[in-house]
A and B are shown apart, each in its own frame.
Chain A
Amino acid sequence: MSYAFYPGCVSRGGCPELYPSAVTVAARLGLELEELTDVGCNGAGVLSREVSDPINARTFAKAEQRGLSTVMTICSTCTGVMGQANIKLREDPAYRERINREFLADEGLEYRGTVTVKHLLWILHEEHGLERLKAAVRRPLRGLKVAPFYGCYIRRPDAIIEGKPQRKQYLERVIEAVGAEVVDFGGKGKCCGFPILTANETNSMAMVAAHTGEAKGKGADCMVTPCPLCHLNLDGGQPKAEAQKGAPIGLPILHLPQLIGLGLGFNPDELQLKRHIVPTRTVAEKVQLLT
């Protein structure tokens, strides 16, 4: 099955290590990706929905045009913003019709409401199958303690999980599937603070310090997130959060495809772990001791 791949802006911008890791891992797992290159940023919860809904309807129409039914993302925020727009467009035919008429018709496009938006994390569970992932693991990450961090948009609001509460456990199941150990902690479903980095940096950094500090305190070697915006704050913001807190944290933050890639046997350099702000050396050393 082919997926309409929507990589999002940050996977090639602020987190350039994410895009190649995701593509490498998807290829190894046999996920066929057809990248949507001619579509726009989904708005990321920043742009008014008056403008982002038509942009997203256009993205879905482009996927339909290629005969693809699932848009695959590698970002919790993309998943949530596009997923919520899609729910509105699918459930309200009059709204969809208006968007089609006002914004898409002059390009000869129409969104018929047949597309589903799914994060790679969901696809691994719901379409690819976790057993197949386990079977592909060549280097079980035994002894690596990993704290999951989801990103709000992949858990809430309720409509986004489409009646599947198990989606709130998927990250833990992937950590186990690659042979690592789950470090459960209270902050795993909380906000990373990224959305208010501009409006209130102090609160944003306090959130980073709280969540990374809690995971570290529970013994995590690293944290894994399916959201590059969370990564920007938790990794890129960590030095500032440490300064604000007045205490070191030093918790490496991995992207989901990087953790999977390590389990699949790729080496840390292939997954560009060196491009992180918080050094990932401890993770790389621990993993390479396993080979």
Chain B
Amino acid sequence: MQATLKVYRHDPDAGGKPTFQPYPLELPEDATVLDGLVKIREELDGTLAFRASCNRGFCGECTLRINRGGRLACMTRVASARTKEGEVTVEPIRNVRVLKDLVYDVDQLLWQKIKAVEPWLQPTVSQPEREHVLSDEQLRPVRNAMKCYYCGLCDEGCSVIPFDNTFLGPAALTKAYRFVSDPRDGARAHRLRAVGEPKGMWDCVHCFEADEHCPRGIDPTHRIMDLRDAAVGMGIKSGTRNPQVARHYDSFAASVKTSGWLDEGRLALETWGVRRIFDLLPVAWRALRRGKLPTPYRHPKRPGAERISRIFEKVERRSP
């Protein structure tokens, strides 16, 4: 099989601009993109830098952008990836600092953020008297999150990280979920408070890009939503440095609970409070001029609002 791998080449230390170097190759029909990269390095150009390890889709080391989509190089066949012209474009994933060619800073992308969520079990007692037996049902969410092999594709697809690289991101938040969902862990509230601070779970736009990008079926966005639901269930609706998030939740819930639907004017006022009222004035003025400023607290009840209210009450009675 003939194929040309067009490979991203750049050495930031040496300066210059990134280029795509074409490497025409003769490869077996079942060759993967990683096979192609190995062949280039061994036979054509020993200076090509890339990262790989297990070669069987298990370690997540060879995560790259192949034909503009995030993939594992070892699990992507050249035959299916190549274009009509027989070309395959290979470059680092987005949202990363490139160190050389296809090698990027995984420490910045993943490890620093994962370390920040304290990725170790913090048991309720340091010396348990006997083993902690868990049912299959109890372990299911933990096992699901543990399928993560840190390929970084969820962070690569994340909607927020391109705008703000300090956002914890779906990989680290999924790691936090792994421990929050573990019945043996004793730091649940501490963890939920920590990931509730700015740049944590409330900064997630829940766009479900991470779910589309995760090759392990972990659905990281759903896990972030699970974290948020767990936090709300424990009354932890924000961190200490973003109290407006809790006010937003409480006002949203209070308005739906009392009238059945959302009182947007009340939501704005109660979320931002008097301190930011002057910031809101231009927005309010523009809306008023267009006849679309929602009037707070003058919100008619929807028919059946008392039924919605009862749903809230039942859930509240169940929560700790």
Contacts and interface: CB of A to CB of B under 8 A. Distances in A.
Interface string A18-51: 0000000000000000000111110111111111
B264 interface: yes
A47 B282 CA distance: 28
A14 B245 contact: no
A102 B314 contact: yes
B144 to A, nearest CB: 15
A10 interface: yes
B252 A47 contact: yes
Contact of A236 (B204, B286, B307): B286
B244 interface: yes
A277 B287 contact: yes
Interface string A88-127: 0000000000000011001100000000000000000000
Interface residues of B, number: 59
B262 A13 contact: yes
Interface in A166-222: 190-191, 193, 195-196, 198-200, 202-203, 206-207, 210
B262 A41 contact: yes
Nearest to A103: B311
A158 interface: yes
A195 to B, nearest CB: 5
A196 B244 CA distance: 11
Given A13-B294, A236-B283, A276-B290, A198 B248 contact: yes
Given A9-B264, A55-B308, A157-B221, A198 B245 contact: yes
B294 A14 contact: yes
12 contacts: A9-B261, A16-B292, A38-B303, A40-B308, A48-B232, A50-B229, A50-B315, A157-B211, A191-B160, A199-B244, A203-B160, A206-B163
Interface of A: 9-10, 13-17, 37-41, 43-51, 54-55, 58, 102-103, 106-107, 152-153, 156-158, 190-191, 193, 195-196, 198-200, 202-203, 206-207, 210, 236, 239-240, 274-277
